[in-house]
Amino acid sequence: MTIKTGFKAPGNTLGPDDLRMAADAFEATLRVLDDSTCRYPANTARLLIGRYIIERALAGERDPAKLGEGALACLELLDSAGIASFRDRTSALH
């Protein structure tokens, strides 16, 4: 007899080892981040790095070096696209 609980596990989850790997990648990336050249406030940079790493880990990436390099490249891309300067102009208006 099968008992149905109504609980359905999401398809893209991270196990304990995956979470530790993502946390290690996050911490290593923060150590490499150059605060003097990053145009984002520290909390915004941490948020963007964390979101990138989690999204990529959920998509299947398990190499901490690739996750960290990708997160830093993402920050550079956002900066080169002018998103950081746009954010600075809009925050000055409020």
How far are the Cα atoms of 19, 23, 33, 38, 48 from residue 77, in angstroms, in the given order?
26, 23, 14, 12, 12
pTM over 0.85? The answer is: no
pLDDT digits (tens, 9 = 90+) for 4-18: 666 555 668 899 999
Q: What is the pLDDT of residues 34-89, one digit of tens each?
A: 888 788 899 999 999 999 999 999 999 999 999 999 999 999 998 888 775 545 44
In the block, residue with structure tokens 């989690």: 54
The predicted structure's pLDDT at residue 37:
78
Nearest-CA neighbor of 67 among 56, 78, 51, 79?
Answer: 56
What pLDDT, on the 0 to 100 scale, is given for residue 3? 62
* Best CA proximity match to 18, nearest among 56, 73, 45: 56
- Which secondary-structure segment (H or E) carries 24? helix 16-32
Measured distance between the N- and C-terminal CA atoms of the chain, rounded to whole angstroms: 61
